[in-house]
Structure 1
Amino acid sequence: MFYHHIREDLALKLVAVQDVEETFQLVDRNRAYLKEWLPWVDYSKTAEDTKSFVLANLKNYAEQKSLTTYIVYKNQIAGIASFNTIDWNNKSVSIGYWIGQEFQGNGIVSDAVIALTNHALHDLGLNRVEIRAAVQNEKSRAVAERLGFTQEGIVRETEWLYDHYVDHVIYSMLRRDWKALQA
């Protein structure tokens, strides 16, 4: 079981079936807010849909393909932070994240991304961490930029978001650069 204490009021813990209802309620309360940038919101209509998501991610974790965690803030599930895919051959990982609107402004996502980046580059021995965000998603992009990730470029029309394509900005952090920033 993965559990990472970040600070007194913040931790990451592996998704779990017992937290499905709380997670679904968070998504349901934030449906309009999340839908602006996340294409899966309309497919998460019931707690059973959330349970399917959790079970699929637990299977992927057991197979070392990904790591999906709840962001736990003040003993509440505030969102999700994950290694969407782990590429062991190339020692690379892609991080994704979201939080409920009511949890913004507390440094939660930045601290979660720092924790996952440390885990990837130090504990797992990976070399590269990538973050992708829609070009217009300023809040998500700000996390990568604030943490010193390098903007590498734009992937055009890479995601279908309900009724239109969006371009993504790709950011990366290499182990050697992370070590230099942490020094």
Structure 2
Amino acid sequence: MLKWTIDQDIILYQLHESFAPRYAELVQENKQYLSQWLNWPRVCHTTDDFKTFIQGSRYKYIDGDGLDCAIEYRGELVGNIGFNSIDHELKKAEIGYWLGQQYQGNGIITRVCRFLIAYAFETLNVEKVQIAVAEDNLPSRAVCERLGMTLEGIISHQEKVGDRILSHAIYATFSPSISPSNTTPST
């Protein structure tokens, strides 16, 4: 199992089946909160559901298409983050995450996203990292803005969550090696 120490408070672990019971517990504790912005808590909330998710995550990792990690904060599993997709042809990765409501406000997601963005540029050799968040999810939008990401636009009617149709705000950042001066042909 891969492990990355982010700082004195946070460790990321590549998903392992042993995390499934804690994930199920965490989602049960936060189901109403998570269901505001995510559709999957309505259908993925038991230990068996998370075992299936973790198995699928391993296949994505083996195929080079994604990476999901458990977030440990001060010794407790508190959420999940990773690359929902890695497109090697387009040199682009998309970060997705969720965190138990009681752990918000500690800078956890901002710190972990900062690490994953650097990892994407330095290890995965992608040129663009993006995060898609519900347009009205102000805490997640604030994460993107703290990270210095650029709002590329709003895509309307992007996802159905419960009985609501949500629009997504798309934020992106580019590898430092991809600056406007590097993409313009010289004369």
Asked if TM exceeds 0.5, the reply is: yes
Q: Structure 2: 5+ residue runs without aligned partners? A: 180-187
**Cα distance between partner residues in 1 of 2:139 and 2:124:** 28
Alignment of 1:113-152 (within 5 A): 113-152=113-152
Alignment of 1:30-69 (within 5 A): 30-69=30-69
**Cα distance between partner residues in 1 of 2:177 and 2:123:** 16
Query: Which protein shows a greater Rg?
Result: 2
Letter in 1 for 2:145: E
Cα distance change of structure 1 residues 33 and 178 upon mapping to structure 2, 3 Å threshold: farther
TM-score, normalised on structure 1?
Answer: 0.94
SS of residue matched to 1:30? helix
Cα distance change of structure 1 residues 149 and 178 upon mapping to structure 2, 3 Å threshold: farther
Q: Structure 1: 5+ residue runs without aligned partners? A: none
* Identity among equivalent pairs (%): 34
Alignment of 1:1-183 (within 5 A): 1-176=1-176
CA displacement at 1:45 relative to structure 2 = 3.4
**Cα distance between partner residues in 2 of 1:81 and 1:116:** 9
Letter in 2 for 1:109: I
TM-score, normalised on structure 2?
Answer: 0.92
Is the 2:38–2:161 contact (alpha carbons within 8 Å) kept by the matching residues of 1? yes
Letter in 2 for 1:63: D
CA displacement at 1:155 relative to structure 2 = 0.5
**Cα distance between partner residues in 2 of 1:31 and 1:98:** 11
CA displacement at 1:178 relative to structure 2 = 9.2
Runs of 4+ in 1 over 4 A off after TM superposition: none
Q: How many correspondences in the alignment?
A: 179
Cα distance change of structure 1 residues 30 and 122 upon mapping to structure 2, 3 Å threshold: same
